[in-house]
Amino acid sequence: MSGLTIFSDTAPQQQPLWQSRDAQEIQRQLAQIGVRFERWQADRELGDNPQPQAVIAAYQHEIDRLVAEKGYQSWDVISMRPRPRTAPGAARKIPVRTYARRG
């Protein structure tokens, strides 16, 4: 699932200027600022906590397509998952990002 929320850079505490979980809407919104957004389907089941090498293998056909199209020299695997609450009454879960570079 993907989601995009856009806040004002001059008043970030106010309500979002725009938000959506619809991939096509997100793609259109990001295209306006020159950002490419794609959602890929893995060619195998990855489970709950796959190793970076397994993720790369599952998406290798898409990676190869982008390398051929754009000439990329390297790429990363980013894993995001909820962070356990560290204090009683924590208000929200914060994503944990891990990176693995290949290429």
User: What would the pLDDT profile of 26-52 be if each residue is shown by its tens digit?
Assistant: 999 999 999 999 999 999 999 988 999
C-alpha angle 46-68-103 in degrees, rounded to nearest 5: 60
pLDDT at site 17: 94
pLDDT at site 82: 76
Q: CA 71 → CA 4, 24, 47, 55, distances in Å?
A: 27, 25, 30, 21
Q: CA 97 → CA 7, 53, 77, distances in Å?
A: 21, 16, 10
- 14 burial class (0-12, 13-18, 19+ CB within 10 angstroms)? exposed
3-state secondary structure 6-21: ECCCCCCCCCCCEEEC
- Position 12 confidence tier, pLDDT thresholds 50, 70, 90: confident
Q: What is the mean pLDDT of the chain?
A: 85
- pLDDT exceeding 90 applies to what percent of the chain? 60
Across 12-28, average pLDDT: 93
Write down the domain spans for the chain.
1-39, 41-81+90-103
86 pLDDT more than 80: no
